[in-house]
A = this chain, B = another copy of it.
Amino acid sequence: MFAEIKGLNEECGVFAIWGHKDAAQLTYYGLHSLQHRGQEGAGIVVSDGEQLKIHKGLGLVNEVFNPNTFSELSGHAAIGHVRYATAGGGGFANVQPLMFRSQMGSLAIAHNGNLVNANSMKHQLESQGSIFQSTSDTEVVAHLIKRSGYQTLVDQFRNALEMLKGAYALAVMNEHQLMVALDPNGLRPLSIGRLGDAYVIASETCAFDIIGATYEREVEPGELIVIDDDGLRSQRFSGSATRAICSMEYVYFARPDSNVDELNVHTSRKNLGKQLAMEFPVEADVVTGVPDSSISAAIGYAEQSGIPYELGMIKNRYVGRTFIQPSQELREQGVKMKLSPVRGVVEGKRVVMIDDSIVRGTTSKRIVNMLREAGALEVHVRISSPPIKHPCFYGIDTSNSGELIAANHSIEEMRVMMGADSLAFLSTEGLTKGIGRSDDVPNCGQCLACFTGQYPTEIYPDTLHPYAKV
């Protein structure tokens, strides 16, 4: 849930609402609850039936919007977006929603996911005269819509969707219609709710709870939904839709209070912890989890194993973007950021440390070391997901397998590197069982590619991007 520690970064959260006079404000609260899906930038586009108005910027939702903003965002429909924090580039040009203006009207697009054929499509579009102002995939969608020969926006959008490959949960709005679509594998979550007569769409159901909306159903893989003054209409744009939802949403990304594809995330994570305890028990005095994303799994491990669950580490809540990082010298002297050990809990104890996943392994090493310095006698690391060995091409920022520690080292090597007394990862079967999806579809309807290397879509040569993807 807190990307800065992990090195795993979700790409974005999407929110949309149709039919409420406070559309922009409700989108603000919705984006607020999706903030964990992206901290680099945020934006809202609103329609008042006559024109689209936009406000967006770099920073947290809190930082981008202020009370004055909303006086300029009156309207009954809105789409919003939070964008993830990337190390280097991108900047303002990539903050979404993107907005396009033509003499026939305006168009706004918000996107969560990653297109695997973006580069080949860009190449083709450029050869036909298209120009791009950002480095994001999302701009491709706008060009495809524009260049479709169809007359209505719905047909144009459907035509564009048929050309996209990869992961996408998309919200598109003009002055008169809101449309949302999910890729045929349903790689990213996208849910529909109601708030009185209004329709609400969000990447996670926690956005419904924060505004008091009620959950209705999931957007289906390969489904295109159109909402306008005539209500909601659904159609399929893909014949061969099979759900393959990202399993890392359950393991790490989604908020524990969200239901992803109708399963509560906290409950799934707790069950992952129980599975982990069954597969890899250990004799110890306390169980603790890396806050915040591993708390649920740690509770489950403790409940299953009978070892007490304790707060072994504390996360400093006030570390924000303006926090002054300690110098290398001070860090070596022991100055800590983000996590502090609870000495009173771990001192003289054999500790089971639950983490949800390992990407580069550097954070785990630091935590093990921190627990030892705080007096832990033994540190047993248990990971509530299998080793991540393969890059993700669907919107998770682990695209370089050179950085994935599990792609290059055995478990024993990793244990030594992080200085743990023991190390174990949940099995793929344990993962599937723990998440708890029905098992009558392939892979239980989930994507396991980062663990198994079996990708649910074609992977295009251009997925290994010719220029920096931001």
Enumerate chain A interface residues (CB-CB to B < 8 A): 1-2, 22, 25-26, 28-29, 32-33, 35-36, 54, 60-63, 65-67, 70, 91-93, 98-104, 107, 119, 122-123, 126, 128-135, 142-143, 146-147, 195-196, 205-206, 209-213, 255-257, 259, 263-267, 270, 292, 295-296, 299, 303, 308-311, 313-314, 316-320, 322-324, 326-327, 329-330, 333-336, 340-345, 374, 466-467
What 8 pairs between A and B have smallest CB-CB spacing?
A212-B334, A264-B344, A257-B342, A129-B147, A257-B314, A35-B318, A100-B131, A131-B146
Q: Which residues of B contact A267 (CB under 8 A)?
A: 344-345
Contact in complex: B130, A146 (CB < 8 Å): yes
Chain B proximity of A57: nearest CB distance (Å): 8
Give Cα A143 to B60, complex, Å: 34
Contact in complex: B133, A130 (CB < 8 Å): no
Contact in complex: A133, B98 (CB < 8 Å): yes
Q: Which residues of B contact A131 (CB under 8 A)?
A: 100, 102, 107, 130, 142-143, 146
Given A318-B60, A335-B212: A345 in contact with B266 (beta carbons within 8 A): yes
Most buried by B among A67, A313, A342: A342
Contact in complex: B314, A132 (CB < 8 Å): no
Give Cα A296 to B310, complex, Å: 8
Q: What copy number does this chain have within its complex?
A: 4
Chain B proximity of A72: nearest CB distance (Å): 10
Q: Which residues of B contact A309 (CB under 8 A)?
A: 299, 303, 309
With beta carbons under 8 angstroms apart, the residue of B102, B255, B341 that contacts A132 is B102
Q: Which residues of B contact A264 (CB under 8 A)?
A: 342-345
Q: Which residues of B contact A205 (CB under 8 A)?
A: 343
Contact in complex: A340, B130 (CB < 8 Å): no
With beta carbons under 8 angstroms apart, the residue of B62, B119, B340 that contacts A323 is B62
Give Cα A308 to B131, complex, Å: 56
Contact in complex: A211, B62 (CB < 8 Å): no
Chain B proximity of A166: nearest CB distance (Å): 18
